[in-house]
Structure 1
Amino acid sequence: MKYMRPILGGILFAATYFVLTTLDFIVCRHQMKSTITLPKSYERSKSPWIPTESSVGQSNLELDKCMDAEVDWTSTVKPKYELDRNKFLIPTLLGGPNNQMMGFHQSVLLSLILNRTLVIPVFYEHSIDNKFYLKAVPAEHRINIAKLRGLLSVITLREAVRLCRSRIDTIFADKYFNVGRKEIALLMRVYMQTGLSGVKLIDGVGDEEIRAISEYIYGEKGYTRNDSLRNRRWWPKSKWGKSWIYNIVDKDNQPNLPVHPQSAPSSKVSDARSNYASNAKCALHWFPFRQYGFPQSKITTSKASERVDLRHFTADDGWKLFSEVLLNTCAPEAVGVWSKKFQHTYLTAAGGNYLAFHWRYDTDDFMGYICKNGVRQEFCESVRQASNSSAIATAILSRISELDRRFKAKIESVYVAAPAALANFTLEIVGLFSNEDFARRTLPDDLPIPAIVTSTQLKGFVLREYRNCPLTIPKQLSDTISQLEMDICVDSYSFMWSRQSTWSGNVKQYRFLNNKAKTKTDTPNTDYVIRMMQSDQMRKEES
């Protein structure tokens, strides 16, 4: 009952809080000027064919405030590691934004080991419905390309299409690979998204036809400049299906595309060169994810300024290079600057510390995937047990008290990061923190009740300060908010993280990289919540 009594009051407060904070958000959105158009060319997109939104009509002053990250590729940059300019590694990425970043880390590392110039890939929007066709996100909205260019040789996807003559020469796979029906569909999607082909099409279907199909599928309203093609028998019946792919592929004359390795690849970084021994010019890195793993304890900044001798690469060099990869694949510069300003305004205004709490467990997206088919039963049951707003609020307050006792850390605020689908659940937690009687059941009288901050304040702040910026256009905003929340969690004094979440995992890596000592105060949130619930139950039984 302890965890149930305060919930009704919390919900009533949350409703009021939601109305007030949402009004602020709506006002900010109303003030945004409509400056978004579909560009006449696709220069903003990293794909030659996929249209993406771009902001136009901005003054230089506005763009300076936005810290627009569009890259000047005409400028010459001498990277720390100059790689072979006649061999290329082209990443293809999968999953949500954080899975994509983990795959990208693998590709950057492999480019260095194999001495291949890295091609800046296509990144994608987040999707919870397993869509086959995902909208492209400009790479400069996900990573600081200027920083990456300082590490290794890179080129644009458009330049790679030109130098590779629109062809993929070989596939580097991080798991066993066999060209079947599924792989043919994915190769066609790569073709549509990059302009690089690894499949042979039937007569009468070429670049112009694929361009028209791409415009139809990825455009907002089925836009294509070649409507005459709609009457062809192979034209897609809808913007979502993929059966049309098998109608335009020449099934009997597919190119013999070499795949490396021919068996399941080794996960040892020292075997990378033997796994991918190829002189082919243009290699497609096939959906990398977690092939090369490094213990967090190995990640370090202490030797980041040293140069690894790539000619005599050893296994011990792997974690050194991976540390450099992490340091140089960070979010756009604007994310760090905006995050620090927000922290100062909302989280550390009184000069104290703040705790960050990440709750990833929304039912339809994360839990629907992680817990499907009865896998990870013990973990999934622990999440369901801990998914109680009153228990979570109690656990956060208990952790604040513990940080004061053990580390003499004064926590003045809490940032709660959670998916948008959990907005109501988050508001319940906010409401409970506003109830002084509830808070004082756990928090000693000599500690102030901390302010609790969520994405509601963060969105309002971003739209007030940086509306009309490339990173805050409507379809980019949620992605930017997620990156800002990650930076906020990285900088927190203590981080209560979510198991099985790559979002939390990436935050933990950067926390360790930036300040190893901080990670001693971190804890997995479900474990802590359940431990507090069990302790409370034991006290009840003893009394």
Structure 2
Amino acid sequence: MPGQRSLCLQVISLYKRSIMKMRYLISCVKILIVVLVLTLFLKFCIERSAFTQLSSNRNLNRPSYGQKGLSDKASLLTPVVRKERCIWEPPPKRNVIPKIKLDPTKFLYPGIRSGPNNQMRQLLKIVHVAILLNRTLVVPNFYSHFSVGQQIVQPYQRVDVDRICGLVSCVTLETFQKVCNGTFHNVFLQKQNFPGNFYITTAKDTGLAIRWPWDKTTNKVKSTSGLTVERIFPNKQLSLTEIKEYFNVPKPCALYPGHADDMSFFYLKPSLPLPDMVEDISKLQEDDLKFAIMEAVGALPQVIDDIALAYSQKVFKGDYVGVHWRYDDSDWARHCTVFKDPTCKNFKRISGKHIATAIHNDLQKSMTKFTQGINIYIAAPPSMLTFAQSIVTELKRLNSTFHIASQTLKEFVTDKIDSCFKKNNWHFGDTLSLIEMALMQRSEYFYYSKSSTWSKNCQQRRWFVPQNGKLAVMKYEASIFDLSEAVLMSGS
């Protein structure tokens, strides 16, 4: 019928138009895909060409830290390829010119042990000894806490290597191994000897042989092959002059084990910074030199400082009070059995309520300083978390203006960790402890734990946090143990 035929023709016409539109759309998509592919290919070629050009101009075999570094201006002129990288990766190598240039043919390796904070205190002394002996410092391995097996910690995960090598001439352990041909030549001791296990572990971790034990009479071991290894052991505490006298030997590769803590580093008066280049070490005041060592060795890795700052800005948004309560049965209590610390008399009797009351009473005189309420951060060992929570509960009960962190540091840091954290062997507990130290050194007030190297290192570093544009300005500090003990004894 005519009507049906007309309808069929209309349907066929519509179908043909649809096919044509579909073909047109497909053609457009194809053209877009081709254009996109060409654009990406062109971009890749341009970037590849630029990368090749930059790579050809870069010094890809930069020297180790030490004598042959480029000047600061030369470093600035060196092209840098910028790329996104994980914050936990080793920092890019920089060419650092040390203020104190040491003999590039003689070296001193710090044999540091014990807990992480004792390692830092030992390193202070050993850097001083390296300067006295005019021996280039070898940047050493560090170790995590013995409670987790004292695993090796890479230097960049514990200290700011550039800061240390900006003070004294440094080389890496790898350079030291090559120069020393696989063996130490001397071991420098004072009044403290070390057990055989120390030497065995040090040899294993450094890749350099230490032949132990020594002959009791000569302090030497003669092997059928290799050099004689000599132990210099006067068996007494040496003065600075005696250190230079006893350990002034010609052989290049020396080990200096971390001896008993040198507390003189922690009772220094603020001093002016050292000049950009120290030509004559003998003209420096001893306290000035120690203060410079304390500033350089005490600097935490940049990533640690950055995370502490980001956390404090997000959580506190202003000044805050830091509290460190260290007195746990699982570790610190060794002070009671080994060192007979007088603090042991009452540390188990002090409760979270005593500590909270002590903080509250001491802050009464400063309430007006904190106009937005008082932010408080409590640092404590992992085994003391329940106890720390009892302090928080009591603080909130005593004063509603006390603000405790709404997000824990552990939660905050977990969000910042990616796959390269484990790839680069960062230890989570060790890292958290360092970030807490960075928080304590930035705090406006600090309630420290006496008889704690962790607290003592925080106090040391607080000298070097800028305040009103100046360094070496002492901020408020008080012993949380003494304050809490006073509350305990008063019966409050």
- What TM-score does the superposition give when structure 1 sets the normalisation length? 0.67
Q: Does 1:342 align with 2:311?
A: yes
Q: CA deviation at 1:412?
A: 2.0
CA distance in structure 2 between the partners assigned to 1:471 and 1:100 by the alignment: 23
Equivalent position of 1:273 in the other structure: 244
Structure with the bigger RCO (C-alpha within 8 Å, sep 6+) is 1
CA 1:102 to 1:174, structure 2 compared with 1: closer, same or farther past 3 Å?
Answer: farther
Q: 1:450 aligns with which of 390, 402, 416?
A: 402
Q: Does 1:422 align with 2:384?
A: yes
Equivalent position of 1:499 in the other structure: 450
CA 1:200 to 1:530, structure 2 compared with 1: closer, same or farther past 3 Å?
Answer: closer
* Residue aligned with 2:322, SS: strand
Equivalent position of 1:462 in the other structure: 413
Q: Deviations over 1:12-39 (max 9, x none)?
A: xxxxxxxxxxxxxxxxxxxxxxxxxxxx
Q: Does 1:197 align with 2:209?
A: yes
Q: Deviations over 1:337-375 (max 9, x none)?
A: 11111111112x2x4x211100111101111x1111582
Q: Does 1:146 align with 2:146?
A: no
CA distance in structure 2 between the partners assigned to 1:305 and 1:489 by the alignment: 29
Q: 1:379 aligns with which of 328, 343, 346?
A: 343
Q: 2:398 aligns with which of 425, 434, 439?
A: 439
Q: Does 1:477 align with 2:447?
A: no
* Residue aligned with 1:298, SS: coil
Q: CA deviation at 1:299?
A: 4.2
Equivalent position of 1:53 in the other structure: none
Task: Give the paired residue count.
Answer: 399
CA 1:333 to 1:174, structure 2 compared with 1: closer, same or farther past 3 Å?
Answer: farther
CA 1:116 to 1:174, structure 2 compared with 1: closer, same or farther past 3 Å?
Answer: same
Q: Does 1:394 align with 2:351?
A: no
Contact 1:96 1:127 in 2 (8 A): yes
CA 1:373 to 1:86, structure 2 compared with 1: closer, same or farther past 3 Å?
Answer: closer
The equivalences for 1:132-281 within 5 A come to 134-177=150-193, 183-199=195-211, 257-266=229-238, 268-281=239-252
CA distance in structure 1 between the partners assigned to 2:330 and 2:416 by the alignment: 33
**Identity of paired residues, percent?**
24
* Residue aligned with 2:229, SS: coil
The equivalences for 1:110-149 within 5 A come to 110-128=129-147, 134-149=150-165
Contact 1:102 1:289 in 2 (8 A): no
CA distance in structure 2 between the partners assigned to 1:117 and 1:374 by the alignment: 35
Paired residue type of 1:384: K
Q: Does 1:370 align with 2:335?
A: yes
Q: Deviations over 1:365-417 (max 9, x none)?
A: 111x11115822x310132232x011111112222213237x78875210000
Q: 1:101 aligns with which of 110, 120, 124?
A: 120
The equivalences for 1:310-349 within 5 A come to 310-312=280-282, 317-329=285-297, 330-347=299-316, 349=317
Equivalent position of 1:490 in the other structure: 441
CA 1:200 to 1:339, structure 2 compared with 1: closer, same or farther past 3 Å?
Answer: closer
CA 1:200 to 1:492, structure 2 compared with 1: closer, same or farther past 3 Å?
Answer: closer
CA 1:534 to 1:253, structure 2 compared with 1: closer, same or farther past 3 Å?
Answer: same
Q: Does 1:509 align with 2:480?
A: no
CA 1:159 to 1:355, structure 2 compared with 1: closer, same or farther past 3 Å?
Answer: same
Q: Deviations over 1:181-234 (max 9, x none)?
A: x63332121111111112179xxxxxxxxxxxxxxxxxxxxxxxxxxxxxxxxx
Equivalent position of 2:90 in the other structure: 69
* Residue aligned with 1:384, SS: coil
* Residue aligned with 1:321, SS: helix
Equivalent position of 2:69 in the other structure: none
Paired residue type of 1:439: L
Paired residue type of 1:304: L
Paired residue type of 2:312: Q
Contact 1:71 1:146 in 2 (8 A): no
CA distance in structure 2 between the partners assigned to 1:136 and 1:154 by the alignment: 20
CA distance in structure 1 between the partners assigned to 2:147 and 2:409 by the alignment: 23
Q: Deviations over 1:213-258 (max 9, x none)?
A: xxxxxxxxxxxxxxxxxxxxxxxxxxxxxxxxxxxxxx99698633
Equivalent position of 1:303 in the other structure: 273
Any stretches of 5+ residues in structure 1 without a counterpart? 1-58, 202-250, 441-447, 538-543
Contact 2:440 2:458 in 1 (8 A): yes
Contact 1:308 1:321 in 2 (8 A): no
CA distance in structure 1 between the partners assigned to 2:424 and 2:401 by the alignment: 36
CA distance in structure 2 between the partners assigned to 1:531 and 1:94 by the alignment: 35
CA 1:528 to 1:414, structure 2 compared with 1: closer, same or farther past 3 Å?
Answer: same
CA distance in structure 2 between the partners assigned to 1:317 and 1:530 by the alignment: 39
* Residue aligned with 2:347, SS: helix
Q: Does 1:84 align with 2:48?
A: no
CA 1:412 to 1:518, structure 2 compared with 1: closer, same or farther past 3 Å?
Answer: farther
Q: CA deviation at 1:309?
A: 4.6
Contact 1:100 1:123 in 2 (8 A): yes
CA 1:470 to 1:150, structure 2 compared with 1: closer, same or farther past 3 Å?
Answer: farther
Paired residue type of 1:357: V
Any stretches of 5+ residues in structure 2 without a counterpart? 1-81, 214-220
Contact 2:100 2:279 in 1 (8 A): no
Superposed CA RMSD: 3.1
* Residue aligned with 1:451, SS: strand
CA distance in structure 2 between the partners assigned to 1:115 and 1:478 by the alignment: 37
Equivalent position of 1:293 in the other structure: 264
Paired residue type of 1:363: D
Equivalent position of 2:61 in the other structure: none
Q: 2:366 aligns with which of 400, 403, 407?
A: 403
Q: Deviations over 1:149-173 (max 9, x none)?
A: 2222111111111100111111112
CA 1:408 to 1:488, structure 2 compared with 1: closer, same or farther past 3 Å?
Answer: closer
Contact 2:191 2:234 in 1 (8 A): no
Q: From the CA coordinates, give the structure whose radius of gyration is larger.
A: 2
- What TM-score does the superposition give when structure 2 sets the normalisation length? 0.73
Q: CA deviation at 1:61?
A: 2.2
CA 1:253 to 1:280, structure 2 compared with 1: closer, same or farther past 3 Å?
Answer: closer
CA 1:101 to 1:505, structure 2 compared with 1: closer, same or farther past 3 Å?
Answer: same
Contact 1:496 1:522 in 2 (8 A): yes
CA 1:358 to 1:490, structure 2 compared with 1: closer, same or farther past 3 Å?
Answer: same
